[in-house]
A and B are shown apart, each in its own frame.
Chain A
Amino acid sequence: MIELRDLTKRYGDKLAVDGLSFTVRPGTVTGFLGPNGAGKSTTMRMVLGLDEPTRGDVRIEGKRYAELREPLHSIGALLEAKGVHGGRRAHDHLLCLAQSNGIPERRVGEALEMVGLQDVARKRPKGFSLGMGQRLGIAAALLGDPRILMFDEPVNGLDPEGIHWIRTLMQQLAREGRTVFVSSHLMSEMAQTAEHLVVIGQGKLLADTSMSQFIAENSRTHVRVRTPEPERMRDLLTEAGLRPVPGAEGALEVDDGDAPRIGELAAAHGVVLHELSTQRASLEEAFMRLTAQSVEYHAAAPGGTHAPPVPQEGTAPHPGGPQSPPGAAQPPPAWGEDWQDRKGRRG
């Protein structure tokens, strides 16, 4: 278990981490999300006692990091920057770490095998590929068979097979009752791995919620209807008790409507439909909306606007209907504000 209490870090006049309080619990994978520069890596360095918090503190199983007597047994970490001497063979790198914690030497071979590096144990990491370097870092984290694992962007540089491997590994580690805390800036990646979610933006806590709740909140769908007779269709929908709103390209959008019912309604009244599709907001989109106000480094979107690009996933265009262009869907009401409201009510 990792407990953060009002954790704050200031570099000069830059507030990198701003009053973070949350708990990472054992038995689940906790995803740590935030855009670039949100303060994820800084938070993780403070957890490991590498950076001194400006205010607040972190406890590992109730203790400060420096009080841990067998740190590698308590917590194993993979940090963003590779913490490996390029000239020291993989085996020797793990050996010196094992020795510093009195870990039996046989664990070195076991850890190398666990990450699939046994064949390059005698090679120097200087010549390793990005993915091999990442695996060596993971081997170091697993070396002490720790109760807590913390990974900073572990899938960086891994191929699809490697990504699948680490996803399975993290879930297995959590199932064994360990605490798994993993950062990423990809919501879609986390959605497949994590059960719990902590989202930060510009150092501040934006969300601390279960993944299932996040999905329930954000997989809200709407039905998109395009017809040559929009006025007539709108009246029909309103009469049926639905609330259509005008969307892009003269389409109508119906929140929480179900497509079969709308299709039947149109057929019954002889209204021609050009499109009838269920639109699902992607988790990535929800994440971006949540962090939109706190993204530091916007790329200027083509066309000169400064809004973050909104990808469209999981659209299900009606057969025969035209593919809806990306970004055409009306975004659901600001999800982030909504969440903040609930949080306010809860706490």
Chain B
Amino acid sequence: MSIQQHDGQAAPGAPQQQAAQGNWPNGIAPYSSPIPMARTHLGHALVSEWTKIRTVRSTVWTLSVMFALVVGIGFLTALGLSGDDFTGQPLLAGGLFGLMLGQICVITLGVLVVTSEYGTGMIRTTLTACPQRGRVLLAKAVVFFGLAFVTTTLACVLTALINSALLGDQTRPSYVNAEDFSGSFEGGKVVASGGEWLGATVGAGLYVALLGLLSLAVGALLRHSAGAITTMLGVVLLPLVMALFMVGEALQDVRRMLLEYSPLNGLASLYRIPMSEDQDATGWPLLGGLAIVTLAVLAAAYALLNKRDV
């Protein structure tokens, strides 16, 4: 029996062409399905991944917990500060604390989107249904990133509104030098600039969704849930923790670097309370850096996914 159609150009499902070979066992003609079939493309993969992500409990859980942490902690800190005098903290900065915990949920979900398929063997079914592995990875990345960005941004907007509502009537105490907080006050009341609003909502949402996407890529590299989550927690927390222990003069430069490029510093800078020495940092350059790192790791994950057996 010769192997035919090596170029792969032949029309799919052309039974006549094959029947021309004749000598079918039992004289049975090849089966032809009445079900209409479409040539698959990225759209199919996107719809499929959307169904997948919304039909597992881990998605609902991680995102609900994230939402509750961000909004809940944001509300409690704002409540605690309201009524007091201005603390010197930007109006919307209270959202950071909840998000620092909430981002762990997004990281977990990002990892699970890929590793749960390896853990259950679902990845074999997925790649059998869609052998274009890059398409699967892209669809997962797009669907997860969209969902993470929208939910995180929503949580951040809500928190920012709460902060603004509860703390917006704080006045500048007489001992605070107006020069040091130019732009933070308007008519004696605390306000947030447009840039601050953008950073504390869309910026924070983008940043955390990117961290989640990085987690997804790390999950695709390591193919192991616990390993990938641990790695990502290390990436997020370790630079700061290490910096805390670097006290000597000789280590000052390393310490500064670690603080500057710590993923937590990027987030804090978006809320205008950077941990590095540059107190004017807006966090956007660090967000750009995170995007580049994420794309690089995704590219590595893509290359390995195509190379490895599943």
- Tell me the A residues contacting B by CB distance below 8 Å: 1, 3, 5, 23, 25-28, 45, 48-52, 59, 61-74, 77, 79, 81-89, 92, 95-97, 99-104, 107, 140, 144-147, 174-178, 195-196
Known interface pairs A77-B128, A85-B116; A178-B31 also in contact (CB < 8 Å):
yes
What class of interface size applies to chain B in its complex with A? Answer: 35 or more
Q: Which residues 43-58 of B sit at the A interface, judged by CB distance below 8 A?
A: 44-45, 47-49, 51-52, 55-58
- The docked-state distance in angstroms from the alpha carbon of A230 to that of B123 is 66
- The docked-state distance in angstroms from the alpha carbon of A5 to that of B12 is 22
Q: Which residues 1-46 of B sit at the A interface, judged by CB distance below 8 A?
A: 1, 3-6, 8, 10, 12-13, 18, 24-40, 44-45
B137 to chain A, nearest CB (A): 13
B131-A65 in contact (CB<8A): yes
A100-B48 in contact (CB<8A): yes
B35-A104 in contact (CB<8A): yes
- The docked-state distance in angstroms from the alpha carbon of A84 to that of B123 is 9
A-B contacts, 6 listed (Cβ < 8 Å)? A59-B6, A73-B37, A84-B121, A101-B38, A103-B37, A144-B35
Q: Which residues 243-300 of B sit at the A interface, judged by CB distance below 8 A?
A: none
CB neighbours of B36 from chain A (8 A): 104
Indicate the member of B35, B307, B310 with the most A CB atoms within 10 Å.
B35
B79 to chain A, nearest CB (A): 37
Interface of A: prevailing SS:
loop
- Give the contacting residue for B117; candidates A63, A81, A85; CB below 8 A: A85
Known interface pairs A50-B128, A92-B51, A96-B52; A84-B122 also in contact (CB < 8 Å):
yes
Is B127's beta carbon under 8 Å from chain A?
Answer: yes
CB neighbours of A107 from chain B (8 A): 35
- Give the contacting residue for A88; candidates B10, B52, B307; CB below 8 A: B52
B51-A99 in contact (CB<8A): yes
- Give the contacting residue for A102; candidates B25, B38, B121, B131; CB below 8 A: B38
- Give the contacting residue for A50; candidates B29, B45, B309; CB below 8 A: B309
B35-A67 in contact (CB<8A): no
A70-B12 in contact (CB<8A): yes
B33-A147 in contact (CB<8A): yes
Is B132's beta carbon under 8 Å from chain A?
Answer: yes
CB neighbours of B126 from chain A (8 A): 83, 100
B309-A92 in contact (CB<8A): no
B39-A88 in contact (CB<8A): no
Beyond known contacts A62-B4, A92-B51, A103-B35: 12 more, CB 8 A cutoff: A62-B3, A62-B8, A63-B5, A70-B37, A71-B40, A71-B131, A85-B56, A100-B47, A100-B129, A101-B40, A147-B13, A147-B33
Is B189's beta carbon under 8 Å from chain A?
Answer: no
A79-B31 in contact (CB<8A): no
B55-A177 in contact (CB<8A): no
B31-A69 in contact (CB<8A): no
- Tell me the B residues contacting A by CB distance below 8 Å: 1, 3-6, 8, 10, 12-13, 18, 24-40, 44-45, 47-49, 51-52, 55-58, 116-117, 120-132, 307, 309-310
Known interface pairs A69-B12, A70-B37, A175-B28; A97-B125 also in contact (CB < 8 Å):
yes
B131-A87 in contact (CB<8A): no
Q: Which residue of chain B has its CB nearest to the CB of A98?
A: B48
CB neighbours of B3 from chain A (8 A): 3, 5, 59, 62
A81-B28 in contact (CB<8A): no
A88-B40 in contact (CB<8A): no
B9 to chain A, nearest CB (A): 9
- The docked-state distance in angstroms from the alpha carbon of A59 to that of B6 is 9
- The docked-state distance in angstroms from the alpha carbon of A138 to that of B122 is 14
- The docked-state distance in angstroms from the alpha carbon of A146 to that of B10 is 18
CB neighbours of B39 from chain A (8 A): 69-70, 102
Known interface pairs A50-B310, A62-B10, A102-B38; A73-B33 also in contact (CB < 8 Å):
yes
B124-A1 in contact (CB<8A): no
A147-B31 in contact (CB<8A): yes
Known interface pairs A71-B131, A83-B125, A87-B57; A27-B28 also in contact (CB < 8 Å):
yes
Known interface pairs A62-B6, A177-B28; A68-B131 also in contact (CB < 8 Å):
yes
A113 to chain B, nearest CB (A): 15
CB neighbours of A89 from chain B (8 A): 55
A197 to chain B, nearest CB (A): 13
A114 to chain B, nearest CB (A): 13
B60 to chain A, nearest CB (A): 11
B131-A49 in contact (CB<8A): yes
- Give the contacting residue for B55; candidates A74, A81, A88, A101; CB below 8 A: A88
A85-B35 in contact (CB<8A): no
A87-B47 in contact (CB<8A): no
CB neighbours of B127 from chain A (8 A): 48-50
A52-B132 in contact (CB<8A): no
A1-B44 in contact (CB<8A): no
B4-A99 in contact (CB<8A): no
Q: Which residue of chain A has its CB nearest to the CB of B21?
A: A1
Known interface pairs A69-B12, A73-B13; A28-B26 also in contact (CB < 8 Å):
yes
CB neighbours of B55 from chain A (8 A): 88-89, 92, 95-96
- The docked-state distance in angstroms from the alpha carbon of A178 to that of B13 is 12
B130-A100 in contact (CB<8A): yes
Counting from the closest, the 8 A-B pairs by CB-CB distance are A62-B5, A83-B125, A102-B38, A100-B48, A27-B28, A92-B55, A177-B31, A145-B33
Q: Which residue of chain B has its CB nearest to the CB of A11?
A: B309
- The docked-state distance in angstroms from the alpha carbon of A63 to that of B127 is 17
- Give the contacting residue for B47; candidates A70, A99, A140; CB below 8 A: A99
CB neighbours of B33 from chain A (8 A): 73, 144-147
CB neighbours of A71 from chain B (8 A): 40, 128-131
B123 to chain A, nearest CB (A): 8
A19 to chain B, nearest CB (A): 16
A86-B26 in contact (CB<8A): no
B125-A84 in contact (CB<8A): yes
CB neighbours of B12 from chain A (8 A): 68-70, 73-74
- The docked-state distance in angstroms from the alpha carbon of A3 to that of B309 is 21
B8-A64 in contact (CB<8A): yes
- The docked-state distance in angstroms from the alpha carbon of A27 to that of B40 is 27
